[in-house]
Chains A and B, each alone.
Chain A
Amino acid sequence: MVQKQRMFWGYLFIAPQLIGLCVFALLPLLGVVGLSMTEWDGFGKVKFVGWNNFIQQIDNDAFWMALWNTVYYTLMVIPASITLSLLLALALNKVRGKAIYRLFYFMPVVTSSVSIGVIWIWILNGDFGILNQILKQIGIEGPDWLTDTDWVMPSIAMLSVWWGLGYNMVIFLAGLQGISRSYYEAADIDGANALQKFWHITLPLLSPTTFFITIMAVITSFQVFDQAYVMTQGGPAKASYTMVYHIYDQAFVHYQMGASSAAALILFLIILVFTLIQFRMSKRWVHYEG
């Protein structure tokens, strides 16, 4: 094909996605930067206020509450989820009947956040919930999981770990199955024990998978919203109020488009910085074969 033809066909093929890219990604990205410097309720006049919205966010207790809750949630979910799913994948890799286990562990992954949320509201109910009923049988007085400010975030973190476990597990399993057996055979000849094999073969060769899962998990944890909205409406006393909740609340409850945009940009920068740091650090612990 000549240059002109390639140009025609190339742009014809990407046209629909290119329109989508311009209208629903690039334009909004410019929009959010612009809006973050204005005061606007979405209907009336737009007022330019410069950096004011960012300064206001830093003075805003709700912003810090949301940021802390989101970080706290991430710190609880990520280590628990990665450790548990790795352990399960290691076990699963060694047994027969993988498909049937996989089937059960993956069930929550296909279920919507709202269904999951409502199911756990009932399980975690302080008075009649099954979790506290079971705890009572073994002599423990369970807390009011979702209405106690200290317990609400750990509760949401717990069900999020449960929700995403199957996904991380199958990704880990695929990673484990990609490790060539010859490494283990060589280690057997050298007389390495199971722990040594795990530490010197499995973990390093699995590190690209671990890296992928960690990156994805950090990004999705920082976007936590559905569970908090469905289960607790950010309460009690904003104890489960997250960053995305803060963005939503300001824009669609209080109609402060400017302030909300500023918060959204701050969230974006936080996610970006965390991801870049992870990529930087990955050079030290992620091993790519060959």
Chain B
Amino acid sequence: MKAETVHSTQQMNHPPQVKPFLNPPYHRKKRGRVTGLFFHLMLTAGALLMVFPFFWTITSALKDNSQIFASPPKWIPHPAVWSNFSDSLQAMPFAGAYWNSFYITTVIVVCQLLTASMASYAFAKIRFPGANVLFILFLSTMMIPKQVTMIPVYLIIKNLGWVDSHLALIVPNALLNGFGVFLLRQFIMGIPKELEEAAIIDGASPFRIYWNIILPLIRPALAAFGIFTFLATWNNFLEPLIYLSTPEKFTVPVLLNSFKGLYVTDWSLMMAGTTISVIPVLAVYLIAQKYIIEGITMTGIKG
């Protein structure tokens, strides 16, 4: 008796239960499949547009003059002219530039990971006097575009005697990152107190807590921030452009820029140089794409 009432009220409360009849499931699925196909077409067209410039750069790098100016355009180079690569490697010290970019970026990333995580640990967990004011100062530096303070920073670097030295790029970038401090603090704030308290009772110093407890726990955030910093530093152009004047000291972007200035009409050579600047980065990207994209997304959302 009771069960029957429940059953009937359920039916009463849900008159649209008839709806599946009017809107048969197979209908929905079919429509879903058509829109799905449409989405795939749209996304594929977009993906082709994203990749095409890279394809065109690499194929242009393998052409000789008769092929590069061919009309209608020649899509696949034949014969492929590999000498463009050796020519551009000979024309410009790309290997040296790669080394410069690599070691400058690595030093900056390692220092950033250390100094930013240390500062954010202090801001998140050690209630020291002045912490709030200082943290707000860090936050506000995030809002000042680098170009605004570019001139005084240049003058400071000049006074330190670091113009045309890699120190000009390394030191300011290794020591200050308001965004990093903010980002990592967000993560450290989320670590429950109990985890440190046990260590504090055991008499661990703040440094041991930071090193043995905090750092391992924020590893994903560190990875994301590291990737973000790596890309930003590797691709940085304006600063090396201002500070460096000796070609042997150039980073990859600055070298490619001066290469462009010298060979502006020799398109296949220029494309070979560009390919040399792009391929290693894309190779690393293809290997680590999941981490790179997720890391960048994470810094974007948490920031």
Contact = CB atoms under 8 A, between A and B. Distances in A.
Given A25-B176, A112-B237, A170 B293 contact: yes
Contacts of A23: 156, 172, 175
Contacts of B282: 107, 110-111
B57 A130 contact: no
A197 B128 CA distance: 49
A26 interface: yes
A5 B40 CA distance: 60
Contact of A122 (B49, B72, B155, B271): B271
Nearest to A99: B290
Contacts of B109: none
Given A104-B51, A128-B68, A230-B257, A29 B175 contact: no
B219 to A, nearest CB: 19
B155 A31 contact: yes
Nearest to B121: A13
A272 B54 CA distance: 36
Given A13-B122, A27-B156, A167-B296, A101 B57 contact: no
A24 B154 contact: no
A286 interface: no
B79 interface: no
B220 interface: no
Interface in B136-160: 137-138, 141, 143-145, 147-156, 158
A14 B235 contact: no
B268 to A, nearest CB: 10
A239 interface: no
A10 interface: yes
Interface in B108-141: 111, 114-116, 118-119, 121-123, 126-129, 131, 134, 137-138, 141
SS of B interface (majority): helix
Interface string B240-278: 011000000000111011001000000100110110011
A261 interface: yes
B25 interface: no
Interface stretch (A51-59, A74-82, A90-98): A90-98
A21 B256 contact: no
B235 to A, nearest CB: 4
Given A94-B39, A120-B53, A171-B300, A128 B69 contact: yes
A13 B274 contact: no
Contacts of A136: 71
Contact of B152 (A32, A94, A121, A275): A32
Nearest to B278: A115
B99 interface: no
B126 A165 contact: no
Contacts, number: 287
B127 to A, nearest CB: 6
B32 to A, nearest CB: 9
Interface residues of B, number: 99
A94 B38 CA distance: 11
B170 to A, nearest CB: 12
The 5 closest A-B pairs by CB, nearest first: A10-B128, A20-B175, A31-B152, A20-B176, A13-B122
Interface of A: 1, 3, 6-7, 9-11, 13-14, 16-21, 23-32, 35, 42, 87-88, 91-92, 94-95, 99, 101-115, 118-123, 125, 128, 130, 133-134, 136-137, 162, 165-167, 170-171, 173-175, 189, 191, 209, 212, 216, 219, 222-223, 225-226, 229-230, 244, 247-248, 251-252, 257, 260-261, 264-265, 267-268, 271-272, 275
Interface of B: 16, 19, 35-36, 39-40, 42-43, 46-47, 49-51, 53-54, 56-57, 60, 68-69, 71-73, 111, 114-116, 118-119, 121-123, 126-129, 131, 134, 137-138, 141, 143-145, 147-156, 158, 172, 174-178, 181, 200, 205-207, 210, 231, 234-235, 237-238, 241-242, 252-254, 256-257, 260, 267, 270-271, 273-274, 277-278, 281-282, 285-286, 289-290, 292-293, 296-297, 300-301
Given A11-B128, A118-B270, 6 more contacts: A13-B126, A28-B156, A42-B155, A113-B253, A115-B277, A230-B237
